[in-house]
């Protein structure tokens, strides 16, 4: 996507995308917190094969959420830089 000229997003579009991205990051952080709480509950109730399966599933979900959050934060960082550049051009 070009930084300026035809096809370049407007500053308003960039800021709107950042807002949506921050909202998504907050939702992911909330999901991570729920998974961590549930992991703690499952760990306290240790025992049984079903418990072990749930612990493994929750661990995978937490890892997946961490990766997605890392990817989103990277994209948001890039978009913030683009916003700074766009602001210097207006």
Helical packing angle, 49-89 and 11-44, nearest 10°: 160
| Cα→Cα distances 89→18, 29, 85, Å | 18, 34, 7
Q: Is 79 exposed, middle or buried (0-12, 13-18, 19+ CB in 10 A)?
A: middle
pTM score of the predicted model? 0.83
Per-residue pLDDT of the chain (90 residues; tens, 9 = 90+): 666 767 788 999 999 999 999 999 999 999 999 999 999 999 898 788 899 999 999 999 999 999 999 999 999 999 999 999 989 886
């Amino acid at each position: 996507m070009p930084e300026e000229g035809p096809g370049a997003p407007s500053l308003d579009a960039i800021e709107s995308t950042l807002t949506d991205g921050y909202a998504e990051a907050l939702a992911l952080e909330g999901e991570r917190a729920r998974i961590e709480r549930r992991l703690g509950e499952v760990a306290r109730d240790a025992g049984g094969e079903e418990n072990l399966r749930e612990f493994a599933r929750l661990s995978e979900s937490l890892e997946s959420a961490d990766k997605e959050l890392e990817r989103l934060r990277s994209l948001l960082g890039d978009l913030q830089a683009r916003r700074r550049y766009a602001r210097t051009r207006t």
